[in-house]
Structure 1
């Protein structure tokens, strides 16, 4: 009788202990998930300035973080929308600022640039020659010196993927990348611009590789980074790779 009672209380105690352990583990796990969710939803406010670029005779605005060396905003055609975005999402070194402050900076960017001596300009012909030139190299396998040499392409467009996109996003490029001995892990704006330099007939780290595959990687890369960029970039530049 005594042993029966002992085992009953023993098993009850074990069950209660197991329940309490499970309860506190679950609560701790849920709190961790909640904390991680809150962290992921937190908006990162970059210290940035406003830049203007003329694209096909239209003026556009975007934010650029010099300390992070990357674009940190959508591409805006409306100066007021740029100022509104900046007032909610960006900082200056002395902290947050209101709409009027950012509107003033946006207007100033039309006259001055902190990225170059003059405001970037991308002509309609640049876009046309980029599209036609890539197709020509991809189809014929011959280098094309007529591909536009525009600094905006090198320093901004090819470099839109500063956020270290997952490697698997570039899997559609794998076959062509293998043809030129380029690992998917190494695909980034700088490397792809070197490919662009090569198919343009300029000195490059990739001299002597298959031009068709190089052009296919450039075209596919631009398509992928535009489709994964903030709004405005894809719609404005989609004709580059249509």
Structure 2
């Protein structure tokens, strides 16, 4: 009859929160299980890592600013010729991408700034308006290549890149203008090509390099 005087059991201690870390990104366009390596580019002072399949010329991942997260992505979604590997293995490989690259040997080819890209697009717009050469004009080949590889080479044929390097040389004045063409027309075609590259690129490849569109 005196049960109501009994002490109540203390509440159970709350479970300690589980530290999961940032979510591992998904592969681009379902590109899971590809044999590849980790490469890197630098944009506005931040180094971004990404998976790359050399045999297919395909970017496998979004741009990842955390080297450990890039290694985790690779351990879950990429392989080597001898099979899958753990995060520690991929972390070591990612370290090589900090100072080197199998895609572009020169660090300048892997380093970009939004400001300089915006300036290049502004120069291209001037050529489109005025039809005169722009000495020193350039948009790094490696960046255009990576955007194409991220987009799975889905650039429409009419905006293809078979002449993009030649267009840049003509716009900069390094190559003569071919008969029957105009600088305005060539600049328009190059801008259409850049627009198509960005439009085809998935995820943050498109947002990080949206400055190339006009």
| TM-score, length of structure 1 as denominator length | 0.64
Using the alignment, how far apart are the partners of 2:146 and 2:212 within structure 1?
14
Matched, 1:117 2:105: yes
Per the alignment, residue 199 of structure 2 pairs with 227
Using the alignment, how far apart are the partners of 1:42 and 1:110 within structure 2?
26
Conserved? CA contact 1:161–1:189, under 8 Å:
no
Per the alignment, residue 91 of structure 1 pairs with 79
Q: Secondary structure at the match of 1:189?
A: coil
Shift of 1:146: 2.8
Conserved? CA contact 1:64–1:70, under 8 Å:
yes
Shift of 1:130: 1.7
Shift of 1:165: 2.2
Using the alignment, how far apart are the partners of 2:131 and 2:30 within structure 1?
47
CA deviations over 1:140-174 (Å, ceiling 9, x no partner): 111212323534235434x337734274xx6xxxx
5+ residue gaps, structure 2, are 1-28
Cα-Cα RMSD: 2.7
Quickly say closer, same or farther: Cα 1:237–1:190, change in 2 above 3 A.
same
- Structure with bigger helix share is 1
How many residue pairs match? The answer is 183
Per the alignment, residue 165 of structure 1 pairs with 154
Per the alignment, residue 73 of structure 1 pairs with 61
Matched, 1:153 2:124: no
Q: Secondary structure at the match of 2:52?
A: strand
Using the alignment, how far apart are the partners of 1:222 and 1:75 within structure 2?
19
Using the alignment, how far apart are the partners of 1:162 and 1:241 within structure 2?
15
5+ residue gaps, structure 1, are 1-40, 171-183
| TM-score, length of structure 2 as denominator length | 0.72
Q: Greater Rg, structure 1 or structure 2?
A: 1
In the TM superposition, 1:128-207 aligns within 5 A as 128-148=118-138, 150-157=140-147, 159-160=148-149, 163-165=152-154, 167=156, 184=158, 187-203=159-175, 207=178
Q: Secondary structure at the match of 1:130?
A: helix
